[in-house]
Chains A and B, each alone.
Chain A
Amino acid sequence: MHQNNLNVGLNSDLGSLARGDQHHETIDISDVSPEKLLRHLTLMERIRQAEEIIGDNVLNGKIKCPCHLAIGQEAVPVGVSAELTSNDSVYGTHRSHGHFLAQGGTTFELFAEVLGKVSGCSKGMGGSMHLHKASTGFVGSVPIVSATVSLAVGSALAYKIKKQTGVGVAYFGDGAMEEGSVHESLNFAANYKLPMLFVCENNLFSSHLHIKLRQPHDSVARFAQANNLHWEVVDGNDIIAIQRASKRLIELARSGEGPGFLEAVTYRWRGHVGPREDEDVGVMRKDDLNMWKKRDPIRRLAEALINAGYLKNNEWGESKKRITSELNADWALALDAPYPHLSQLLGSVYANGSDL
């Protein structure tokens, strides 16, 4: 074992994609309309600020449920959801605030949910880790690692049986690649050529443990290759690269060419759970985190827009302030929202409530 020097014996298939000191450059936005780019930028900023508000309120004790923040990873869901509609079926994980918001969920419903309020997206019954909004195509997120991957495959199977154009989408992390049911799901989806997109957000960590301490290679796309899936590995902090790859893979899936696998390499700025940065947790975490913050997906898009003349510095500043005041208003509303009635404890165990 080489736990004190992780570069010894490392098989890095990801190369520079796994490095925080690389890819600080502005992203390539050629051939994309400024309107779309500004929408992406605004949505990523909304997701980041929403999670910052959640983090602050975990610290001050107003939020009690476990919250897993994805600050630093906003480009992935915004890029993928840009190619999806409410007729697709998207499934998330324990770390799914961004997946929920990118697919069309509102910040008010998210805030109310993490506060356990009945106005939340899951009626206050789920908290941060169990989000749902069928009308947007966001079917659900759960904290059992890998559990929704096979469910998303089932949605893809349903679309194929019903001859509908929807795709199943499963978000999961590099840790989930160590779970057996993911490998069953890759084989199952490939075997039946299902309209399915697997999205692995490889943030190099599972909880506190770096991928080098868990797997012999740092790129998980090798499992997609083994199952004959279409696959791409992209910079997970480059929203346009993510969107372009998603578009290619989703088009193949929708046209009956079989499932796709997207590995988006990124990094989470906060700890596994809660708002702290956990610099003391995990080998090399402190140095890496400082570098990865310079690979910020939001800054890289904002600067690209400013350089291209689509956005002025002061406009971007105003825009961020406007988002802050909107989210603060949502947060205040959520704080005032009512809790579920006690009857809800038994009221939704079965479809008809409870027959006892």
Chain B
Amino acid sequence: MNPISTKNKFNYGEAIREGFVHLLDNHPDVFVLGQGLWSPWYVGNTMKDLDVIYGKDRIIDTPVSEAATTGAAIGASLTGLRPIVIHPRVDFMILATDQIVNQAAKWSSMLGGQAHPAVTIRAIINRGGEQGAQHSQALHSWFAHVPGLRVVTPSSVLDARDLFIASVLSDDPVLFLEDRWLYDQVDELPASPQLTPLHELGPRISRPGEDLTIVGSGYSAYLALKVADELARSGIESEVIDLRILNPFKKDLIVKSVAKTKRLLAIDGSWETCGLGGEIIASVCESLELGTLKAKPMRLGLPHAPAPTSKPLEEAYYPTVKSVLDAIKSMNISKH
């Protein structure tokens, strides 16, 4: 049915498509709606030919109506289906914030646990390339703040497929946020997905180390691994924690790691102020004894400004391996 399935190396975008194929083949209650689903211009290679294979009644390219489309997905889930609603850019999804924050997130609690919107809201962070302020945002911190939502930010090829499947099979509303900067990453993918329920999953150690704990999610978790590679050249072994799921926020693995390494760096692809980096640092600091840390905890995120378009400004705006390494110097980490 799907010609790509015979290979074992996939890029991140293709892995998401593998997730779709698994879901659409095995779960007749799954359908997909959103803008641009019939066009690679919007969703890259993640949905190639799905409308041809599964039909345009099941892969529905919708009118330009973020609110109604997201609301319709929630309503369809309350009527027994498992919809995936897609926003090809996070920035446009803001138009559906009532449906996500007031409706999907609250119906379970507000109605006494009797209605569960099993809807997956898949949104793509699509930035860089001088696209500017309204085509660049990563708003995971907003949504991590809201009880009732699950927020999933896969950084690896394997998670792109398996966390996507787990998100759609969850009975809760899930915001699945992927980053286009990860799409070209290639890795091997086991033929069968690991079908662990989403609520049993959480952060994982993507690289073990002793000298420093680096925490990130999505693209930042990928960046953290690159930074750890560079640090290893000078003998510094970092422990990298990939958060994977931001809401509900599970801090135990981070606290345990920092108790060991005694140093903490949080990298985040959103604005620093009131953001995920602050939550990571606060939850660690309030859990450790005074004096545990050997260096001040540090967060690196975006400056408090909308994304610029001009090339030199854009280059200065996002954390890079080099800017992170420069910042780490102030932690005075001794070599092994």
Q: Which residues of A contact B (CB under 8 A)?
A: 89, 91, 120, 122-126, 130, 132, 134, 139-140, 142, 144, 147, 149-159, 161-162, 166, 168, 180-181, 184-185, 187-188, 191, 344, 347-352, 354-356
For residue B113, give the distance in angstroms from its CB to the closest CB of chain A: 3
Which residue of A is nearest B62, CB measured?
A188
CB-CB < 8 A to A181: which residues of B?
65, 67-68, 71, 98-99
Closest residue on chain B to residue A352 by CB atoms: B199
Sample (16) of A-B pairs whose CB atoms are under 8 Å apart: A89-B79, A139-B78, A147-B98, A147-B99, A147-B102, A150-B69, A154-B77, A154-B83, A157-B76, A162-B80, A162-B81, A184-B67, A187-B65, A188-B69, A349-B147, A351-B108
Distance between A53 CB and nearest chain B CB, rounded to angstroms = 22
Q: Which residues of A contact B118 (CB under 8 A)?
A: 351
Give bound CA distance, A110 to B81, whole Å.
28
Residue B42 is within 8 A (CB to CB) of chain A in the complex: no
> Are A122's CB and B68's CB within 8 A?
no
Cα A344 to Cα B72 with chains together (Å): 28
Are A153 and B71 neighbours in the complex by a CB distance under 8 Å?
yes
Q: Chain B 5-33, CB within 8 Å of chain A: the 1/0 string?
A: 00000000000000000000000000100
Report the Cα distance A231→B79, complex, angstroms: 25
Given contacts A89-B78, A151-B78, contact A185 B110 (CB under 8 A): no
Q: Using C-beta atoms within 8 Å of the partner chain, give the interface range for chain B.
A: 35 or more
Give Cα A356–Cα B80 distance, bound, in whole angstroms: 27
Assess whether B57 is interfacial by the CB under 8 Å rule.
Answer: yes
Taken together as a complex, chains A and B put the C-alpha atoms of A158 and B77 apart, in Å, by 8
Q: Known pairs A150-B68, A155-B76, A350-B108. 18 more at Cβ < 8 A?
A: A122-B114, A132-B114, A147-B102, A151-B72, A153-B71, A154-B71, A154-B73, A154-B76, A154-B77, A158-B75, A161-B58, A181-B71, A184-B69, A185-B72, A188-B65, A348-B109, A349-B148, A355-B200
Contact A350 B81 (CB under 8 A): no
Q: Is B172 a contact of A350 with CB atoms below 8 Å?
A: yes
- Let me know if B68 and A140 touch, CB within 8 A: no
B99–A155 touching, CB < 8 Å: no
> How far apart sit A354 and B250, CA to CA, in the bound complex (Å)?
12
B75, A89: Cβ atoms under 8 Å? yes
Contact A355 B199, beta carbon cutoff 8 Å = yes
Given contacts A155-B79, A184-B65, A354-B248, contact A348 B112 (CB under 8 A): yes
A153-B81 contact in complex given A140-B111, A355-B248, C-beta closer than 8 Å: no
**In contact, B81 and A191 (Cβ under 8 angstroms):** no
B103, B147, B150: the one within 8 Å of A151 (CB): B103
* Residue contact A168 to B75, C-beta cutoff 8 Å: yes
Q: Are A153 and B199 in contact (CB under 8 A)?
A: no
Q: Which of A124, A142, A191 contacts B103 (CB 8 A)?
A: A142
Q: Closest Cβ of chain A: how far from B151's Cβ, in Å? A: 12
Other-chain contact of A153, B72, B114, B170, B171 (Cβ < 8 Å): B72
B112 engages A126 (CB within 8 Å): yes
Residues of A within 8 A of B147 (CB): 349
Distance in angstroms from B243 CB to nearest chain A CB is 15
Please tell me if the beta carbons of B111 and A126 are within 8 angstroms of each other in the complex.
yes
Chain A's nearest CB lies how many Å from the CB of B58?
Answer: 8
A356→B248 CA distance, assembly (Å): 7
Most buried by A among B81, B111, B148, B170: B111
A352 to B199, CA, bound (A): 8
Asked if A123 contacts B114 (CB within 8 A), the reply is yes
Q: Does B107 contact A (CB under 8 A)?
A: yes
A208 → chain B closest CB, angstroms: 23
Chain A residue nearest to B107 in the complex (CB): A140
For B72, the chain A residues whose CB sits under 8 A away are 150-151, 153-154, 157, 185, 188
Task: Name the A residues within 8 Å of B171 (CB-CB).
Answer: 351-352
Contact present for A132 and B115 (CB under 8 Å)? yes
**Smallest CB-CB separation from A347: which chain B residue?**
B113
Give Cα A344 to B113, complex, Å: 9
| Bound: A139/B83 CA distance, A | 17
A160, chain B: closest CB distance, angstroms: 9
Q: Of the candidates A125, A151, A184, which one forms a contact with B112 in the assembled complex, judged by CB atoms under 8 Å apart?
A: A125
Contact A130 B103 (CB under 8 A): no
Cβ of A334 to closest chain B Cβ, rounded Å: 15
Cα-based distance from A126 to B109 in the complex (angstroms): 8
Expressed in whole angstroms, the Cα–Cα distance for A147 and B74 within the complex equals: 11
What is the bound-complex CA distance between A122 and B116, given in angstroms? 13
Q: Is the CB of A134 within 8 A of B115?
A: yes
Quick one: closest A residue to B67, CB to CB? A181
Q: Is the CB–CB distance between A130 and B110 below 8 Å?
A: yes
Question: Does B70 have its Cβ within 8 Å of any Cβ on chain A?
Answer: yes
A142 CA / B73 CA spacing, docked (Å): 17
The 8 Å CB contact of A356, one of B112, B172, B250, is: B250
**Which residues of chain A come closer than 8 Å to B73, judged between CB atoms?**
154
Q: In the complex, what's the smallest C-beta–C-beta distance from A181 to chain B, in angstroms? A: 4
A125-B110, A351-B108 given as contacts; is B115 within 8 A of A154 (CB)? Answer: no
Q: How far is the CA of A162 from the CA of B30 in the complex (A)?
A: 11
Minimum C-beta distance from A327 to chain B (A): 23
* Pairs A-B, 7 closest by C-beta atoms: A154-B75, A150-B71, A123-B112, A348-B113, A184-B68, A151-B75, A154-B72
Task: Report whether B114 and A155 are in contact in the complex, using a CB–CB cutoff of 8 Å.
Answer: no
Closest to B252 in A: A356
Can you name the residue of chain B whose Cβ is closest to the Cβ of A186?
A: B68
CB-defined contacts of B250 to chain A, threshold 8 Å:
356
User: Are A348 and B65 within 8 A (Cβ)?
Assistant: no
Min CB distance B287 to A, Å, is 14
Looking across the interface, which residue of chain B has its beta carbon closest to that of A345? B109
User: B75 contacts A123, CB within 8 Å?
Assistant: no
Is residue B63 contacting chain A, with contact meaning CB distance below 8 A? yes
Measured in the bound complex, the distance between the Cα atoms of B110 and A348 in whole Å is: 8
What residues on A are CB-neighbors of B68 within 8 Å? 150, 153, 181, 184-185, 187-188
| CB nearest neighbor in B for A356 | B248
